[in-house]
Structure 1
């Protein structure tokens, strides 16, 4: 994540669309100044990884419209002012040298294409192989079955439920906790 207008617009959308906010556990919209402060903090924070998911085959023009790139095609996205389309984000935060916490999200129009699975897998690989972490943790609100399935697909193990642990959307919600250990990542896919 960088201090660009494209990144700012993506974060403003996430923090201000009511349904999206509820999914992520944010009750109140974020004013532009708070988004700017967040971008500033992640741009200068070397202890976390905050990355946007940008499909390499899609570009966004200055007017915000998305178009697919084609090899040698006229809509190749190479004209000045084009930026990669932000489809979501993956984050690794609260990194303490042995563990970190994973979060992720995708805009609705990009779900079901494997982008989140690929992005989460790459960040988990980075956590274990580059950062040398022993454990990566993640949380999922009760009822968010696609997110739970993604974590299980990547190798995370359910470790329990914190009952009514978060108050969001006007109600207390259960939080399902997941963990993945470095040796489990190394052995994934084996019986």
Structure 2
């Protein structure tokens, strides 16, 4: 098992896909996350006709945030202290990329 990814459209008229990805830890740091993210974003815009792709990431996940920024996502906001992780509250960073930015 390498991992899983999805893109979900909650309101079709808005054409906003919510992107998720989860890789098995033994595959971290090998570039698979970036490769899959680029592929899914490209598919979302070129094949599905989406206007934007959104995601949420734990604030402490610096590796993922850096990778998303490298792909072209920008921080759009945050939900403060929404995740209880390792004995403390952590923010969820909201990120997005628009079709015209791709």
TM-score by length of 2: 0.88
Is 1:112 aligned to residue 29 of structure 2? Answer: yes
Find the residue that maps to 2:53 and give its secondary structure.
strand
- Return the index of the structure with the highest Cα Rg: 1
| Larger relative contact order, structure 1 or 2 (CA cutoff 8 Å, min sep 6) | 2
Find the counterpart in structure 1 of residue 83 from structure 2.
166
RMSD: 1.5
Is 1:129 aligned to residue 78 of structure 2? Answer: no
Moved over 6 A (4+): none
Aligned length: 100
Once residues 169 and 130 of structure 1 are traced to their aligned partners in structure 2, the CA distance between those partners, rounded to angstroms, is 39
Which structure 2 residue ranges, 5 or more long, are not aligned? none
Decide whether the 8 Å contact of 2:60 with 2:90 is kept in 1: no
Once residues 173 and 110 of structure 1 are traced to their aligned partners in structure 2, the CA distance between those partners, rounded to angstroms, is 24
Once the two structures are overlaid, the 10-residue window that deviates more, 92-101 or 142-151, is 92-101
Find the counterpart in structure 1 of residue 56 from structure 2.
139
* Higher strand residue share: 2
Is 1:89 aligned to residue 4 of structure 2? Answer: yes
Which structure 1 residue ranges, 5 or more long, are not aligned? 1-85, 186-191
TM-score by length of 1: 0.49
Find the residue that maps to 1:162 and give its secondary structure.
strand
